[in-house]
């Protein structure tokens, strides 16, 4: 079983040493918890894929603690000068933070980390514990989200303990993650600059610095663009997704434990009053209202993102069989939240142990 560590300097030093020696350490970042391994150690990397039951064709993000370390992972000289300039601008404006850049890789980064691609994903997390750990390790740290492949990402140490506790060596408990959705993955290596995964850094923030970027359309994307695998972030419950304000009031089986997931309190109360109106009279015993949760009472997309995985973990723990969720507004962090909800939809039902997708 994993040993839980605190964020004390002594514990971080110990975790850093463990990483250097090839052990696996789960750690907090501002987005979600990562499952860390020394990026240049193929044995440690193999254990990461094994622990997550992740297919080796899905590459990992390499984390660094300062901009100077970028050269140990990426080779910017392979980029045209004007593209290099855009990379520099993004880095000075948006790192550290929830932005992962796809760049030509250095030969020292093993194929296993990048799934044989000639590019590497690099990120400088803003979380002080993540930075301190990577510094203590003294090496770049490859880290996917610390969840079994295809399942919800962890935003608390307890999520990691529950899901992967028997497969990692240490878990640093740094409390709740503040952003709550994974980093935005931006491909700077190809002819067009593309967002491969919407995430914790809104597209608008990127475009304010380098102008328009392309956004991969999730409905047409296929797995040649890594990160676009169809079933991801899925809860055990089967989730149905509806436009904002359009969760249906009837039409599901009464025997199925159900929960509704709303964007804000206004949306929940509208739905609940319509539900009560509809069901009054038809059931004099007064059938109980379905479980419901709100991502952000006041309708803040920041708060909704921070609560998303937490709420889904909670509903799964309650043993709810079906979740009816509404989309959130498609601006700022909205696309990242909607992407996770979209990928959590019910088709994934029937998976056993969430390990095969």
Contact residues for ligand TXA, defined by CB under 6 A: 29, 31-32, 34, 58-61, 98, 100, 102, 114, 117, 119-121, 123, 125, 143-145, 182-183, 185, 196-197, 226-227
Q: Which is nearer to ligand TXA, 102 or 312 (CB)?
A: 102
CA distance 200 to 341: 15
Nearest CB to ligand TXA, comparing residues 26 and 320: 26
Q: Which residue is nearest to Mg ion (CB)?
A: 145
Q: Kindly tell me the number of DSSP H helices and DSSP E strands found in the chain.
A: 10, 15
H or E element at residue 303? helix 301-318
Pick from Mg ion, ligand TXA, none: which does 121 bind, CB < 5 to 8 A by kind? ligand TXA
Instruction: For residues 202 and 98, give the distance between their C-alpha atoms in angstroms, rounded to a whole number.
Output: 9
Smallest distance, ligand TXA to C-beta of residue 226, A: 3
- Kindly state the tokens that stand for 9: 């300097």
User: Does the footprint of Mg ion cover residue 231 (CB under 5 A)?
Assistant: no
Instruction: Please report the sign of the dihedral spanned by the C-alpha atoms of residue 62, residue 89, residue 223, residue 204.
Output: positive
Nearest distance from C-beta of residue 142 to ligand TXA, angstroms: 9
| Closest separation in Å from C-beta 149 to Mg ion | 8
Would you say 59 or 174 has its CB closer to Mg ion? 59
Closest approach, Cβ 153 to ligand TXA, in A, equals 7
CA angle centred on 82, ends 77 and 87, rounded to 5°: 70
Decide which of ligand TXA, Mg ion, none touches 325; Cβ closer than 5 to 8 Å per partner kind. Answer: none
Residue 342 phi, psi dihedral angles, 5° rounding: -60, -45
Tally Cβ neighbours within 10 Å of residue 218. 16
Strands (E), the chain: 3-5, 25-27, 34-38, 61-63, 99-104, 119-123, 141-142, 170-172, 184-187, 194-197, 214-215, 238-242, 258-262, 291-294, 322-326
Residue of the chain from 114, 119, 131, 145 that contacts Mg ion (CB under 5 A) = 145
> Could you identify the residue written with the tokens 């296929």?
222
Nearer Cβ to ligand TXA (114/238): 114
Closer CB to ligand TXA, 143 or 325, in the complex = 143
Name the binder of 31 from ligand TXA, Mg ion, none, CB < 5-8 A by kind. ligand TXA
Residue 189 or 267: which CB sits closer to ligand TXA? 189
């Amino acid at each position: 079983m994993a040993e839980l560590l605190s964020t004390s300097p002594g514990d971080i030093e110990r975790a850093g040493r463990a990483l250097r020696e090839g052990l696996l350490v789960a750690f907090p970042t501002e987005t979600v918890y990562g499952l860390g391994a020394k990026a240049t150690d193929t044995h440690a990397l193999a254990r990461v894929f094994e622990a997550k039951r992740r297919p080796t064709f899905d590459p990992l993000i390499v984390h660094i603690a300062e901009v100077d370390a970028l050269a140990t992972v990426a080779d910017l000289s392979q980029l045209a000068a004007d593209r290099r300039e855009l990379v520099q601008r993004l880095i000075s404006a948006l790192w550290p933070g929830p932005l992962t850049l796809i760049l030509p890789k250095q030969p020292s980064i093993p194929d296993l980390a990048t799934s044989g691609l000639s590019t590497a994903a690099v990120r400088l997390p803003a979380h002080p514990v993540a930075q301190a750990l990577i510094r203590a390790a003294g090496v770049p740290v490859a880290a996917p989200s610390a969840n079994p492949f295809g399942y919800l990402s962890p935003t608390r140490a307890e999520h990691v303990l529950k899901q992967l506790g028997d497969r990692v060596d240490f878990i640093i408990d740094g409390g709740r993650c503040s952003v709550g959705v994974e980093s935005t993955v931006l491909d700077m290596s190809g002819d067009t600059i593309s967002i491969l995964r919407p995430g914790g850094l809104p597209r608008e923030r990127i475009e304010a610095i380098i102008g328009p970027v392309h956004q991969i359309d999730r409905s047409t994307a296929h797995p040649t663009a890594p990160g676009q695998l169809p079933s991801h972030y899925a809860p055990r419950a089967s989730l149905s997704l509806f436009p904002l304000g359009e969760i249906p009031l009837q039409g599901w089986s009464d025997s199925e434990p159900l929960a509704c997931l709303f964007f804000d309190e206004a949306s929940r109360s509208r739905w609940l009053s319509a539900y009560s109106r509809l069901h009054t009279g038809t059931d004099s015993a007064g059938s109980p209202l379905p479980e419901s949760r709100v991502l952000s009472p006041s309708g803040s997309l920041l708060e909704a993102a921070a609560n998303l995985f937490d709420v889904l973990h909670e509903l799964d723990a309650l043993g709810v069989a079906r979740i009816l969720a509404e989309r959130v507004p498609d601006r700022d962090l909205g696309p990242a939240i909607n992407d996770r909800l979209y990928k959590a939809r019910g088709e994934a039902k029937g998976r056993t142990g969430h390990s095969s997708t």
